[in-house]
Amino acid sequence: MALSDQCGDHTQRVLDILSRFTSAFPQGRPSAVVQGQTRGDVILVTGTTGGLGCNILAHLCLDPHVKKIYALNRSSPHKGLEERQVEIFKQRGVLEDCLNHPKYQLVEARLSEPLLGLNTELYTEICESVTHIIHSAWSINLVKPLDNFEDCLQGTRNLIDLAVASPQLTIPKFVFVSSISAVRNYSGVSVPEEPIPDPSVCFGFGYSESKWVGEQIVYHASQSTGLRATSVRVGILCGDRNGHWNTSELYPSVVKSALELRYLPNTEDALLPWIPTFEAAGILCAMRNSEHPVLHLESPNPAVWSEVFGMLAKELGVSLMPDDVWLSLLQDYSNHGDLPKAERRARVPAIDFIPYLLDVDFSTYRYQGYPHVDTSKAVQVVPMLKDIRITEEMVTKWVNHWREIGFLPRKETLRAVRSKL
């Protein structure tokens, strides 16, 4: 089959999935329209046991304009929801004032099921009182195809249906937490803060495709039902207040791999518009009343790749090398290393990201393989966004935390190992 035919088939597949989740939106508002029962925002937020979600919940707890929070999360066979929430708060260095805060109610839910998997009484209570929905929960996997994200898409549709069914005079505001990856293939100079109807902008990974479809579901709903909605395309988040940065993610994996490879990649002229998770969550919460259909959550004041990775190289006692040479080194190690494959992956976890890294043309873009995105509307809504930039203090926090949890060796251990080489 010709490549153009394959692309055409995939485009149709994505559009077919979108069509399934945008059919038969509820028409008209409920007849029993009532005035709001409370003063202050009542917010439903999903995914609060995740990294960004727990920081969103922390900001909402401390926001004097928020009266009540329903924190919806899936159940776990291993731990109760309250234990998981407190655990993630502590892991991420969230303020202790938020632990067991009386403002939030933890709710076990199954978003893809009817009534979100809740009993009728609780579903009705939420439907009649909520003023905002912030949908952060999502499966994060760069390997799964789009089909594997259909539960996430169904959950998005179900939350939209809940918002549209609200009997309140003002329909709840819907905030969809999207990703910059949803527009990863955009070919213009700068990605605009607006819906992009061409599905090819997201092709490459099921995750990015699922976020594009999610955005489109939300946008179609706003056009069909009057839903007030904003999709926030979030860029790369780089650690929490205490320096915690999930060690299974790409960039921590690249850092750890440097201990074995003895090099970190350097991309000439590349810029890093990363944002710390706590600050990103606060900005996202501040965007919840925006009337823009799309906003971008990336730093308009990006750091320079060589400076950030230079700091990391200094901490680890390794050198920088051109990114294409580094990628070849990584592939050679993956294919021809002397150690068993499992041990090679443990020492060099960046091996797991080789398919992604091969798909990114770092020479084409200045922003770690993604196109530059416009943030002018976002800055207009939340001016503090323009002041956020990676600092040496942040880099030190990441490295110190990774040392504390054993992901990286402590300085004295590393120094002793290096002295024997």
Q: Are residues 234 and 254 in the same domain?
A: no
Residue 130 has pLDDT above 80, yes or no: yes
- Residue 230 belongs to what H/E stretch? strand 228-234
Express each pLDDT in 306-353 by its tens digit: 999 999 999 999 999 999 999 999 999 998 767 888 899 999 999 999
- Report field, pTM of the whole predicted structure over 0.85: yes
Mean pLDDT of the chain: 91
Same domain, 341 and 287: no
385 in any annotated domain: no
Residues 408 and 365 in one domain: yes
Q: What is the pLDDT of residue 371?
A: 78
Q: Are residues 186 and 200 in the same domain?
A: yes
Compute the distance between CA of residue 421 and CA of residue 42 in angstroms, rounded to an integer: 60
Say if residue 158 is in the same domain as residue 258. Answer: no
For tokens 């001016």, what's the residue?
Answer: 383
Is 219 contained in some domain? Answer: yes
The answer to whether residue 159 scores a pLDDT higher than 70 is yes
> What's the pLDDT band for 1 if we cut at 50, 70, 90?
very low
Q: What is residue 95's predicted lDDT score, i.e. its pLDDT? A: 77
Residues 269 and 289 in one domain: no
What pLDDT is attached to residue 3? 42
**Do residues 144 and 117 lie in contact, with contact meaning Cβ atoms separated by under 8 Å?**
no
152 assigned to some structural domain: yes
Q: Domain check: are 234 and 96 in the same one?
A: yes
Q: Considering only 33-47, 144-158, 265-279, 327-341, which range has the smallest mean pLDDT?
A: 33-47
Answer whether residue 6 shows pLDDT above 70: no
- Give the pLDDT score at 31: 67
48 domain residue, yes or no = yes
What pLDDT sits at residue 37?
57
Q: Give pLDDT tens digits for 205-227.
A: 999 999 999 999 999 999 999 99
Residues 173, 293 within the same domain:
yes
Q: Per the domain annotation, does 34 fall within a domain? A: yes
The verdict on residue 293 lying in a domain is yes
User: Which pLDDT score is estimated for 204?
Assistant: 87
At residue 2 the predicted structure's pLDDT band, cuts being 50, 70 and 90, is very low
Question: Is residue 223, in this structure, part of any structural domain at all?
Answer: yes
Are residues 257 and 362 both part of a single domain?
yes
Q: pLDDT band for position 362 (50/70/90)?
A: low
84 and 207 housed in the same domain: yes
| Residue at token pair 């350097």 | 266
How far is it, in rounded angstroms, from Cα 24 to Cα 27? 8
Question: Domain check: are 182 and 100 in the same one?
Answer: yes
Q: Is residue 178 a part of any domain in this protein?
A: yes
What gap in Å lies between CA 139 and CA 128, rounded to an integer? 28
Number of domains in the chain: 2
Q: Which helix (H) or strand (E) holds 234?
A: strand 228-234
CB within 8 Å of 270: residues ≥ 6 apart: 304, 305, 306, 362, 366, 367, 368
Q: Residue 111 is part of which domain span?
A: 12-238+281-297
Residues contacting residue 274 through CB under 8 Å, at least 6 positions apart: 235, 236, 237, 238, 298, 299, 302, 303, 390
Strands (E), 87-186: 104-108, 132-135, 173-179
- The CATH number linked to 44 is 3.40.50.720
Percent of the chain with pLDDT over 90: 76
Same domain, 255 and 350: yes
16 Cβ neighbours under 8 A, 6+ residues apart? none
